């Protein structure tokens, strides 16, 4: 047992990623109290050993440590300020944010929560729902060394921990840079694969060649085999959430006065494709506009 498992640890946000993280912590022996706006998500976690929390504030009264896994910066901000609100019986001392909020919000929350006596720990993750379930996500931890030492054990249950910096926001910078690269790889792979399929190349063989050669990337290695070639488009992350991350990255670049013309074009292309395929569709559907323009579908011919 770890030091943190002795007392209740709070977990807020049981979505596609958060539910997997909570399950891993429960399996590792952590005594979790959980909350989500969806009662069925709380009930599912409670059926696997978690204690159900009535509200975010209830978790702040029960747990010294709370982890957040929430979809957007405004929601993270609202919940963070709610749980950190002063009260005589508040136990909360550390708020670990696994969400993607961008560096500006992370720095702001760290400052505001410090005034309320709560340490904000910047720890966004990357690796998708499958990585969350398998415990293979990358955790981009940005905090002081002593805080990193305290929570590396807990976060290692979720995935591989990288201590990327000593101040809030640096984890967020790393995360949005990662997602801009990922989005660009997916868009470019969609164009290339559609052209290859139009030329009559077998889709399975084409992707296998890319992965054996210098063209391999996160899209060809992961997204095509898992979701695009089989036509399932079900990796559990929406077009809108990816676009949110692209905007956070480009806004930060603008704040620093760094020109990113290719990154900006990726943002424009993603927005156009997202509008066509639907904001709440799985982000792997972003390759479909390239397929539609070419008049092909890049699907495995070996599908049952």
SS3 99: coil
Angle between helices 103-115 and 239-256 (to 10 degrees): 80
Cβ-based burial of 111 (10 A; exposed 0-12, middle 13-18, buried ≥19)? exposed
61-86 burial, b for 16+ CB within 10 Å, e for fewer? bbbbbbbbbbbebebbbebbeebbee
Q: Which pairing describes strands 137-142 and 125-126: parallel, antiparallel, or unpaired?
A: antiparallel
The single residue of 175, 198, 226, 244 carrying the catalytic annotation is 175
- The Cα–Cα gap between 253 and 95 comes to 27
Q: Distance between the two ends of the chain, CA-based, in angstroms? A: 45
Active site (annotated) includes residue 244: no
3-state secondary structure of 10: strand
* Residue 41: Cβ within 10 Å count: 18
Two structure tokens written together for 5: 């498992």
Burial profile 256-284: b = 16 or more Cβ within 10 angstroms, e = fewer: eeeeeeebeebbebbeebbeebeeebbbb
Residues known to be catalytic = 175
């Amino acid at each position: 047992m770890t030091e943190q498992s002795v007392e209740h640890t709070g977990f807020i946000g049981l979505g596609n990623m958060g539910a997997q993280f909570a399950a891993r912590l429960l399996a590792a022996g952590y005594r979790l109290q959980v909350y989500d706006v969806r009662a069925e998500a709380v009930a599912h976690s409670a059926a696997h050993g978690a204690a159900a929390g009535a509200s975010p504030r209830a978790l702040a009264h029960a747990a010294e440590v709370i982890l957040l896994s929430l979809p957007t910066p405004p929601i993270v901000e609202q919940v963070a300020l709610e749980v950190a609100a002063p009260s005589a019986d508040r136990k909360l001392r550390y708020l670990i944010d696994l969400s993607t909020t961008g560096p500006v919000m992370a720095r702001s929350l760290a400052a505001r929560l410090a005034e309320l006596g709560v340490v904000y720990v910047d720890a966004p993750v990357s690796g998708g729902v499958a990585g969350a379930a398998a415990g293979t996500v990358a955790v981009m931890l940005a905090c002081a060394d002593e805080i990193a030492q305290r929570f590396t054990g807990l976060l290692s249950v979720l995935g591989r921990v990288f201590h990327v910096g000593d101040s809030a926001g640096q984890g967020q910078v790393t995360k949005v840079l990662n997602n801009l690269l990922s989005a660009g790889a997916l868009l470019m792979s969609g164009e290339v694969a559609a052209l290859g399929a139009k030329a009559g190349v077998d889709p399975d063989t084409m992707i296998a060649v890319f992965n054996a050669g210098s063209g391999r990337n996160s899209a060809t290695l992961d997204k095509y085999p898992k979701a695009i070639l089989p036509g399932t488009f079900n990796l559990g992350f929406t077009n809108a959430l990816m676009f949110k991350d692209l905007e956070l990255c480009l806004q930060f670049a603008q704040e620093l006065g760094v020109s990113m013309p290719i990154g900006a074009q990726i943002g424009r292309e993603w927005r156009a494709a997202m509008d066509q395929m639907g904001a709440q569709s799985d982000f792997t559907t972003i390759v479909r506009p390239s397929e539609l323009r070419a008049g092909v579908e890049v699907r495995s011919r070996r599908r049952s």
